[in-house]
Amino acid sequence: MRLTLRTLLAWKDGVLPEAELRALGEKVTASPVAGPLLERIDEVVARPQVGAARTDARGLGGDPVSVARYLDNTLPDEQLEPFERICLESDIHLAEVASCHRILAGLGQEPTGLPPLDATTRARLLAALAQASAARPVDGGTVVVESAERGATATTRTPSRRGRVPWLAWGTAALALATVAALVGVLVTALSARPGAGAGRRPGQPDALAAAGGRAVAEPAAPVAAAPPLGTAVPTASEPSPPAVPETAPVPAEGAAPAVTVSVPVAPAAGAAAGGERPPGSDQPDAAAARASVTGTGALVWRPAGRGGEWTAVLPGAEIGAAADLVVPPGAEPAVTALGITVRPRPGSRCVITVDAAASPRLEVLFGGCVVTADRPDATLRIAVAGLEAMVGGSLAAGVEVEASRLLPDGADPATTVATVSGRITALGDGIRLSVAASGEGIQLEAGRTLAWDGADPGAATVVAVARPIVREDAARERLERSAAAALAARLAAGADLDAALTALAGSRRVEQRALAAHTGALLGRYDDLVDLLVADGPPRGLRDGQWEEVFAAAVPLALARGANAAAALRQAVGSRAPPGRGDLLWGLVTGPDPGADRATALAALVDLLDDETLVVRRAAYVQLCRLSVPTAADRARYQPDSPPERRRDGVAWWRRQVDRRPAGAAPRE
């Protein structure tokens, strides 16, 4: 199979048989053009400034019929190369073709996603198409109108006309275009509303149907900060480590008043350890009679709080014990309601809900974040996070967000170094009251204000004013995560247990499903699938560079910061699954260079590894090199670990020149 734009789109969207995917993946990896083109496709599809092609345009690239024939593999052979050249030279046409390709493939993979047209709507559409054809005849040409019901074709010869088209004809054409636009709107709305759109793929689907899902459109920013994006940068060891605040969290308003330090005598959360995770909920009695209902979307993983045992997955509509240790897989958005309090943990979070002997709910956040609301005006909730425990009351109907972040400095030994733990409580509405344990001192939080603190000294909490949350979302990535979460939920609904469902996803052909299995396992303290995915070769079975960095950043830093036990489990997985003779080297790249080592020496050693024969070593070395040197986006693109040797050579030479001549601590510049 030739490597053309259409076959590249079919490979990218995963609609080819396994054998063709593998063969084409080898060509993609070896091609010096395919990698940059794939990145350009992702960029132009996600870029909101890219417009749309005119609906009344003429010519090969502007005529919508040409685009449709190209996507359906019916464009004449002599027009294929000119059409693809137009797409490669125009961001608008490239984005249009790639987006429509993804939408059509999503429909092919999920045929129930869009219900069939009823007879009335079908008749109106055919009539509109016939009127549009009559309104814009081609001089001396042929008008073809196909029936959607039986595939019949009516061909009409039209006389040559050079004069002005009558106003009635223009009006009819406008009506037809409006009808088509409305139908396209219904299609896009249906696809964007379904969390599982584009999840599956039919084996052996022909290339004529290789069309895949829609242009990524960022959803409106919610008043609640979203989960931190995969790939969020981690502060380097050479700089003081600030509290780890998710990139999507509210930021201080420009010109806001200086932060006010609140000196409050704080009683640390009972049994809280300064470093790694302690047994969550172990200090709370179990209220066996209390139950919690699960709603939302996706699977929720839980086990009884304070008891340990096996993790179990439940779906919306189920009930669990109100004393529950909760983990949320990527892409899932569950909600847990108990005693009038609703907790919505973010994907990738872990929290514990317990009920004390007085039937009072308590929420402990170990990592990630939760949004809490209440359906009673007098509802209260005890919160424990990052060494601080407080009673929250007031107008909980508007909601309060609770976050916990863990960070281990680069190069630190996770077996002996205590991670930095920080906490945040943000009022999403006015009238939130915080009463700090032991002192009973009250703090009033207005909407948009955050109480932030370092777990090492929670008494020195700081109240800051924040602006509307700034959400940096990757709509395409989020859609894939929701699709993978829907696949997990489908397997659970079919009767599979959690371990069997995750094992099946870990062996899936869909890269987003393999990533979800690896990330979910890591959240549960199981790292074998994660390391298997990280050490695998590149596409089609492995990850592309950008995907690899996202998976690495989502799971590895948190595993190192969760304490000695989690870090030891990760190290064992790395040692047993790394390429032969590369275990110790790879672990050193996972933890990062020793902060006490000479910076120039560390940079030079990392640059030398950029030409290593093992792909995972090159990738891990480049992640650490970029963390230490903080290059610009353009400079990062100079080197790609999964490129062929001849393409990597120039990038390695450029980085070596920068390391050899740059002053210590300076960012690389040509």
* Beta carbons within 8 Å of 340's beta carbon, 6+ residues apart: 374, 375, 376, 379
Amino acid at 227: A
Strand partners, 406: 421
Tens of pLDDT, residue by residue over 520-576, are 999 999 999 999 999 998 776 778 888 899 999 999 999 999 999 999 999 999 999
Per-residue pLDDT band for 373 (boundaries 50, 70, 90) equals very high
- The DSSP result for 315-382, as a single string, is -TT-EEESSEEEE--TT-EEEEEETTEEEEEPTT-EEEEEE-TTS-EEEEEEEEEEEEEESSTT--EE
What separation in angstroms does the CA of 372 have from each of 272, 283, 326, 499?
Answer: 22, 22, 14, 30
Amino acid at 78: E
* Beta carbons within 8 Å of 141's beta carbon, 6+ residues apart: 158
**The pLDDT of residue 17:** 77
What separation in angstroms does the CA of 430 have from each of 442, 446, 462?
Answer: 15, 5, 18
Contact assessment for residue 347 and residue 328, using Cβ atoms and an 8 Å cutoff: yes
- Tell me the average pLDDT across 171-196: 52
How many CB atoms sit inside 10 A of residue 614's CB? Answer: 19
The H or E element containing residue 24 is helix 18-30
**The pLDDT of residue 246:** 32
d(CA 595, CA 586): 17
Phi/psi zone of residue 339: left (φ > 0), alpha (ψ -120 to 50 degrees), beta?
left
Amino acid at 321: G
Per-residue pLDDT band for 607 (boundaries 50, 70, 90) equals very high
pTM reported for the whole predicted model: 0.61
d(CA 517, CA 78): 45
Contact assessment for residue 603 and residue 638, using Cβ atoms and an 8 Å cutoff: no
d(CA 138, CA 142): 7
Tens of pLDDT, residue by residue over 184-202, are 555 545 444 443 333 333 3
Nearest of 342, 345, 339 to residue 325 by alpha carbon: 345
CATH architecture of 260-465: Sandwich (2.60)
Per-residue pLDDT band for 241 (boundaries 50, 70, 90) equals very low
Per-residue pLDDT band for 261 (boundaries 50, 70, 90) equals very low
Calculate the dihedral angle through the C-alpha atoms of 310, 316, 322, 323, rounding to the nearest 10 degrees: 30
Across the chain, mean pLDDT equals 74
Nearest of 276, 269, 493 to residue 382 by alpha carbon: 269
Tens of pLDDT, residue by residue over 303-347, are 998 777 899 999 999 999 888 999 999 999 999 998 889 999 999
Nearest of 109, 125, 135 to residue 210 by alpha carbon: 109
Contact assessment for residue 607 and residue 659, using Cβ atoms and an 8 Å cutoff: yes
Per-residue pLDDT band for 280 (boundaries 50, 70, 90) equals low
User: Max CA-CA distance within the chain?
Assistant: 91
End-to-end CA separation in angstroms for the chain: 40
Calculate the dihedral angle through the C-alpha atoms of 631, 330, 348, 35, rounding to the nearest 10 degrees: -10
pLDDT for 74 beyond 90: no
**The pLDDT of residue 661:** 65
Contact assessment for residue 272 and residue 342, using Cβ atoms and an 8 Å cutoff: no
- Tell me the average pLDDT across 353-373: 87
Q: Give whichever of 38-42, 209-213, 336-340, 438-442 has the largest mean pLDDT.
A: 336-340
Per-residue pLDDT band for 516 (boundaries 50, 70, 90) equals very high
Q: Which token pair is 307? A: 């008891």
Which residue spans within 459-499 are E strands per DSSP? 460-465
d(CA 521, CA 80): 45
Lowest-pLDDT range of 214-228, 276-290, 433-447, 531-545: 214-228
Nearest of 10, 24, 491, 67 to residue 213 by alpha carbon: 10
Burial 528-549 (b: 16+ CB within 10 A, else e): bbbbbbbbbebbbebbbbbbbb
d(CA 521, CA 556): 12
Nearest of 91, 85, 101, 86 to residue 43 by alpha carbon: 91
- The DSSP result for 355-370, as a single string, is E-TTS-EEEEEEEEEE
Calculate the dihedral angle through the C-alpha atoms of 446, 447, 453, 455, rounding to the nearest 10 degrees: 110
Lowest-pLDDT range of 19-23, 276-280, 432-436: 276-280
d(CA 294, CA 326): 11
Per-residue pLDDT band for 59 (boundaries 50, 70, 90) equals low
Contact assessment for residue 523 and residue 329, using Cβ atoms and an 8 Å cutoff: yes
Q: Which token pair is 283? A: 């200090």
Rg (CA), the chain: 28
Q: Which token pair is 587? A: 């672990």
Residue extents of the structural domains in the chain: 5-110+194-209, 119-190, 260-465, 475-661
**The pLDDT of residue 253:** 31
